[in-house]
């Protein structure tokens, strides 16, 4: 809605909405998470909007497959980070799965132009599908030679609602066997091997690699932090912080550790930010009495304690809540005096939301490695079995 955007830009300084607060604070604007700004139906509007944003002094980050107007934007915008999607270098596959989109040679030319104009580029191999990109090494070698910073690699995942909305040509383009695999909660072994092999190839080429929930150290997000005056902290940054602090192993990580890392780069004040809890937010309202307006400190507290929230660290393979696995298959969590659970970080990963630690149940710990872990205990149900890479959320 271009008119609504222009109204916001005209008086954002006097508005009290969350979006206006972010603009006032100087956070960059992503163009766009929903539609490609250079799609043929609205690239002229996008170009005019980008020009307006640049004139007003806003910084932008761009996500695109390329298209008309992209090269003009590259020349017009100040140094920015561009995320360019490349899911295949095969022209026949591209015509089938992305009809009407820019071809691979055009996207490669855009990447070269962006780098020539001092922009930073990351490439989204998102999704990575073996049938579309069976040999990723050639693509990664080319991207590294051009000067691309990193690649974002994800599997193809489709939920039932998305599949139900497919048009006949989409069923034909993807094929029912691939759709069936994409519908699975966890990766099929062959797909997992392809994703992990591609990640290793990209790293060997010198590219920074990112996948949601990865337990590895990565500098992927540094280009955003170096380019923009303000950015939000990331889950990857938190993982990196745990590596840098030497917390791998049995050291108990506290909510204070977590909030101290995140809160320093988040806006202050009460705002309508419950959407960060994800699609389960409506369930959490009953157990946590989530107010319509939260501070980020309050939001972080819910995220830390609730693996039903998509942003809870325990949803990642490298974190688990510290507890004691009881004989009846229940768990006793170790919590602090505010009933906040402790977590443990291990790059080798956990297959559950919880990990068993043998700690004295009655006395507070005296070792500095375990400060106050016995201030309280909380009974919780055992988690469902799940892949380490994609832990299933507990029942709400």
Mean pLDDT of 17-39: 94
For residue 103, give the CATH number of its domain: 3.80.30.30
249 and 116 within one domain:
no
- Tokens 């540094």 identify what position? 222
Domain assignment of residue 183, yes or no: yes
239 belongs to a structural domain? no
CA–CA separation, 277 and 197 (whole Å) = 32
For the chain, the average pLDDT equals 89
Where does a domain end: 176, 192, 227?
A: 227
CA distances from 59 to 27, 53, 252 (A): 8, 7, 39
Verify that 217 and 95 share a domain, yes or no. yes
CA atoms of 188 and 27, how far apart (whole Å): 39
Question: Is the same domain home to 312 and 365?
Answer: yes
Q: Is 392 domain-assigned?
A: no
Whether residue 123 is predicted with pLDDT greater than 50 in this model: the reply is yes
* pLDDT tier, 373 (very low <50, low <70, confident <90, very high otherwise): very low
Percent of the chain residues past pLDDT 70, beyond the cut? 88
Does the pLDDT at position 186 exceed 60?
yes
Confidence at 73, pLDDT banded by 50, 70, 90: very high
Residue 301, pLDDT score = 94
Q: Are residues 69 and 121 in the same domain?
A: yes
Alpha carbons 43 and 364: distance in angstroms, whole number: 62
Phi and psi at 230, nearest 5°, equal -135, 140
Distance CA 239, CA 235 (A): 6
Residues 217 and 365 in one domain: no
Q: Which of 69, 50, 61 is nearest to 9 (CA)?
A: 50
**pLDDT at residue 333 is higher than 80:** yes
| 64 and 155 co-located in one domain | yes
Task: Please check the confidence at residue 288 and state whether its pLDDT lies above 80.
Answer: no
Which pLDDT score, from 0 to 100, does residue 185 have? 86
Distance CA 211, CA 203 (A): 13
Record the tokens describing residue 146, joined without a space: 């051009």
Last residue of a domain, one of 195, 227, 259: 227
Q: Which domain does 274 fall in, by range?
A: 245-380
With b for 16 or more beta-carbon neighbours within 10 A and e for fewer, the 203-234 pattern comes to: bebebbbbbebbbeebebbbbbeebbeebebb
H or E element in which residue 92 lies:
helix 91-97
pLDDT of 225 above 60:
yes
Pairing of strands 354-356, 319-325: parallel
Q: Please, what is the Cα angle at 151 between 204 and 98, to 5 degrees? A: 130
Tell me which of 93-107, 123-137, 293-307 is least confident: 293-307
Answer whether residue 375 shows pLDDT above 60. Answer: no
The yes-or-no verdict on residue 388 having pLDDT over 60 is no
* 7 has pLDDT over 50: yes
pLDDT reading at 383 higher than 50 = no
DSSP letters spanning 244-261: HTT-BSSPPBPHHHHHHH
Pair 129, 177 in one domain: yes
How many residues would you count in the chain? 396
Helix residue spans in 123-249 (DSSP H): 136-146, 160-164, 168-174, 176-183, 189-204, 222-227, 235-244
Provide φ and ψ at 320, rounded to 5°: -150, 150
Same domain, 116 and 42: yes
Q: What would the mean pLDDT of 52-60 be, rounded to a whole number?
A: 97
Same domain for 163 and 57?
Answer: yes
- Domain end among 177, 197, 227: 227
For residue 277, the model assigns a pLDDT of 81
Examine the pLDDT at 368 and tell me if it is beyond 70. no
Q: Looking at the domain assignment, is residue 184 inside a domain? A: yes
pLDDT over 90 percentage in the chain:
77
In this predicted structure, what is the pLDDT of residue 233? 97
Q: Which pLDDT does position 366 carry in this prediction?
A: 29
Kindly state the tokens that stand for 175: 């094929």
Structure-block tokens of residue 329: 């298959």
Q: Stretch 364-392: mean pLDDT, rounded? A: 35
* Number of domains present in the structure of the chain: 2
Q: Rg of the chain over CA atoms, in angstroms?
A: 23
Task: Give 75-89 pLDDT, tens digit per residue.
Answer: 999 999 999 999 999
> Is residue 216 in a domain?
yes
Distance, C-alpha 275 to centroid of its chain? 15
393 assigned to some structural domain: no
Domain assignment present for 207: yes
CA 57 to CA 23: how far, in whole Å? 11
Are residues 251 and 242 in contact, defined by beta-carbon separation less than 8 angstroms?
no
Whether the model pTM is above 0.75: yes
Whether 175 and 256 share a structural domain: no
Q: 375 and 307, same structural domain?
A: yes
Q: For residue 227, what pLDDT band results from cuts at 50, 70 and 90?
A: very high
Looking at the fold, whether 91 and 217 belong to one and the same domain comes out as: yes
In this structure, is residue 390 part of a structural domain? Answer: no
Tokens encoding 236: 């990857």
How far is it, in rounded angstroms, from Cα 213 to Cα 316?
A: 5
């Amino acid at each position: 809605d271009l008119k609504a955007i222009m109204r916001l830009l005209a008086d954002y300084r006097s508005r009290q909405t969350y979006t206006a607060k972010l603009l006032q604070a100087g956070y960059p604007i992503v163009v766009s998470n929903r539609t490609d700004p250079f799609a043929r139906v609205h690239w002229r509007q996008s170009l005019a909007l980008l020009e307006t944003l640049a004139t007003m002094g806003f910084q932008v980050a761009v996500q695109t497959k390329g298209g008309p107007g992209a090269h003009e934007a590259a020349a017009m915008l100040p140094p920015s980070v561009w995320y360019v999607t490349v899911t295949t270098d095969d022209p026949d596959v591209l015509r089938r799965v992305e009809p009407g989109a820019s071809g691979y040679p055009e996207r490669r030319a855009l990447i070269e132009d962006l780098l020539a104009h001092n922009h930073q580029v990351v490439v989204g191999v998102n999704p990575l599908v073996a049938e579309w990109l069976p040999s990723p090494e050639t693509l990664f070698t080319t991207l590294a030679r051009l000067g691309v910073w990193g690649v974002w690699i994800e599997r193809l995942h489709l939920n039932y609602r998305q599949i139900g909305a497919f048009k006949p040509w989409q069923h034909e383009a993807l094929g029912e066997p691939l759709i069936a695999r994409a519908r699975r909660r966890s990766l099929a072994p062959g797909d997992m091997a392809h994703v992990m092999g591609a990640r290793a190839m990209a790293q060997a080429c010198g590219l920074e690699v990112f996948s949601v929930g990865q337990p590895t150290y990565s500098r992927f997000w540094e280009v955003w932090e170096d380019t923009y005056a303000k950015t939000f902290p990331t889950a990857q940054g938190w993982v990196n912080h745990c590596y840098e602090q030497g917390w791998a192993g049995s050291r108990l990580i506290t909510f204070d550790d977590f909030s101290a890392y995140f809160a320093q780069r988040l806006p202050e004040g009460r705002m309508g930010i419950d959407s960060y809890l994800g699609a389960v937010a409506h369930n959490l309202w009953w157990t946590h009495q989530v107010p319509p307006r939260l501070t980020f400190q309050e939001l972080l507290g819910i995220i830390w304690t609730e693996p039903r929230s998509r942003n809870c660290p325990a949803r990642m393979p490298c974190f688990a809540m510290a507890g004691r696995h009881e004989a009846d298959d229940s768990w006793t969590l170790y919590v602090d005096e505010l009933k906040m659970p402790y977590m443990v970080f291990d790059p080798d990963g956990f297959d559950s939301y919880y990990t068993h630690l043998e700690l004295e149940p009655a006395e507070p710990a005296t070792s500095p490695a375990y400060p106050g872990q016995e201030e309280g205990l909380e009974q919780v149900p055992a988690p469902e079995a799940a892949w380490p890479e994609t832990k299933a959320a507990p029942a709400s």
